[in-house]
Amino acid sequence: MTEHRDVREFTEVWQRDGPRVAAYARRHVVANDVSDVVAETFLHAWRRWADVPRPPLPWLIGAARKVVGNERRGEGRRRALEHRIVLLGDAARSAEDAGLLATDRMTALAALAALPEQQREALLLVAWDGLTPDQAAAVMGVRPGTFRVRTHRARSAAQQALDLSEPPARLARVSLSTAPKGGI
Amino acid sequence: MNEHSIDDRITALAPLAEQLDQEWAESTLARIVADESPRQAPRRTRRRVAAIAVTGALTLTTGAAVAAAAGEGPFDTVKDVLLDFADQPNTSGNDVGTIHDPLLVAQVEQSNGVVFAVWIATTSSGDICSASTTSDATWDGGGSPAPGDLEYGCGEYVVDLYDPDPNTIIRLERPDQLGNFFEEGGGPVLYGISPYPDAVAVHVHGAGVDRTLPVREDSLGYGAALPGATDAASMELTFSDAAGRTLGSRTLFAPVD
């Protein structure tokens, strides 16, 4: 009886959260490996289903993160910036779907890719995976305060990178209206 | 300035949830639920419960610092990060006034060689600020921790460790409400602040632990690594003064889940 209930609930979670785990995996591994990450993550979940907290998504994302880590260690190499941009680009919405210019999309992805791994992960667990900051902190194994500081730094660094990448004309237009006469 | 902030752009780029390939999803699900590997037994873990669950950071000012003696090194770093925190654009809120110099609550060397430390600072408005080394800090106790090794905030909400209900959250309004019992890579660590101004020692009694810790004269803080306390669900803390008189006791409920 319990087994049947487990299967039914697990199936619902698989259908509901599987795509979200896949979306998480898509930005960390090449497309061919995404399904492997999803399958392995849910296999881990099934083997300890009684212990998996509800709602299970934060736990699943945390498990996927470990699976991805193993995949990366298996590859035995650091990922280059260009490779990270490609992965993020594959995972992110298209410019059209996002309502952004293609150049704005690219500068945002480049700013994200240039962040240290931990900072990028902190931002995206909330912004892309839909976790609360506390859930994301648990996924990363840090305290909420640490997570808060990490996201703050990430946001500042990414915004700075974005500002530097903006076309000069746009900056000039703003500065004309705000800088005092005879300024810098 | 940008037409879209980085937050706007990142959020806009959140992936659309693409359904899994139906054929693959069905066959993989069937394979998973057919897995007959032994289910792992439930494991009780003791996680580091957030002593710092900030719901809103407050504005600090850089007025002249007074109060207790500040040393060099870590104290200056802690004060710098708290003041810097006040200047950040996303921490504007109620004004806490002048931050007084931070005091060390506890500095504990864990079995993995990493030092955990926590500081507290009062403010002219009566708010409490605190800073502690982060879970992933690697500070060994020498010199100052890097600012990146610290987490910090003011006007925080904390888990009430003295309420048996682990979900009780309170606003940090008195120093002695700050404390924690947690376990991470370096084994169990306890720290707190005495509610009794005359306390010089606290006796800690619980499963796997029966020892007396000194209470700091300046902050009234105490703390230690308690390697034998991995199974403790609660601990009795008994405070005593210099003459050995018992001042009072309180029960700390370990955040076990």
pLDDT digits (tens), chain A, 184 positions: 456 678 889 999 999 999 999 999 988 888 888 898 999 899 989 988 887 888 899 889 988 887 876 554 434 334 566 677 888 888 888 888 888 888 888 888 888 888 888 889 999 999 999 888 888 887 887 777 778 888 888 888 888 877 776 654 333 322 222 222 222 2
Nearest to B50 among A27, A111, A143 (CB): A143
Cβ–Cβ contact A136 with B under 8 A? no
Q: How far apart are the first and last CA of chain A?
A: 76
Cβ–Cβ contact A120 with B under 8 A? no
Rounded Cα–Cα distance for residues A55 and A139 (Å): 13
B-chain residues within 8 Å CB-CB of A103? none
Rounded Cα–Cα distance for residues B12 and A92 (Å): 9
Task: Count other Cβ atoms within 10 Å, centred on residue A113.
Answer: 20
pLDDT at A18: 94
> Where do runs of H (alpha helix) occur along A27-143?
31-47, 57-75, 81-91, 95-98, 102-114, 117-127, 133-140
Element (H, E) at B104: strand B103-109
The tokens for A44 are 């881990």
B-chain residues within 8 Å CB-CB of A169? none
Task: Note whether A47 contacts B39, CB cutoff 8 Å.
Answer: yes
A161 neighbors A153 (Cβ within 8 angstroms)? no
Rounded Cα–Cα distance for residues B16 and B22 (Å): 17
The phi, psi pair for B195, rounded to 5°, reads -80, -5
Locate the chain A residue with the closest alpha carbon to B130: A145
Q: pTM for the whole thing?
A: 0.48
B150 neighbors B137 (Cβ within 8 angstroms)? yes
Task: Write the single-letter amino acid at B242.
Answer: A
Nearest to B151 among A15, A145, A158 (CB): A145
pLDDT at A179: 27
Q: What is the pLDDT of residues A12-38, one digit of tens each?
A: 999 999 999 999 998 888 888 889 899
Which of A131, A143, A149 would best serve as a mutation to test chain B binding (most B beta carbons within 10 A)?
Answer: A143
Rounded Cα–Cα distance for residues B146 and B76 (Å): 11
Task: Write the single-letter amino acid at B176.
Answer: D
Q: What is the pLDDT of residues B188-209, one digit of tens each?
A: 889 999 999 999 999 999 888 9
Non-local (6+) Cβ contacts of A148 within 8 A are A133, B54, B151, B153
pLDDT at B50: 36
Q: Is the ipTM of this complex over 0.95?
A: no
pLDDT at A3: 64
A-chain residues within 8 Å CB-CB of B46? none
The phi, psi pair for A127, rounded to 5°, reads -75, -35
Rounded Cα–Cα distance for residues A122 and B90 (Å): 17
Cβ–Cβ contact B257 with A under 8 A? no
pLDDT at A4: 67
Rounded Cα–Cα distance for residues A62 and B253 (Å): 27
Cβ–Cβ contact A154 with B under 8 A? no
Which of B10, B18, B135, B183 would best serve as a mutation to test chain A binding (most A beta carbons within 10 A)?
Answer: B10
- Residues of chain B with pLDDT below 50 are 1-2, 38-72, 89-94, 256-257
Nearest to A144 among B2, B6, B53 (CB): B53
Instruction: DSSP for A57-70, please give it.
Output: HHHHHHHHHHHHHH
DSSP symbol at B100: P
The tokens for A164 are 């530097």
B-chain residues within 8 Å CB-CB of A111? 6
Rounded Cα–Cα distance for residues B193 and B95 (Å): 25
pLDDT at A160: 81
Nearest to B135 among A7, A99, A142 (CB): A142
Task: Note whether A93 contacts B48, CB cutoff 8 Å.
Answer: no
pLDDT at B216: 96
Task: Note whether A39 contacts B19, CB cutoff 8 Å.
Answer: no
pLDDT at A94: 85
Rounded Cα–Cα distance for residues B186 and B226 (Å): 10
Task: Note whether B136 contacts A162, CB cutoff 8 Å.
Answer: no
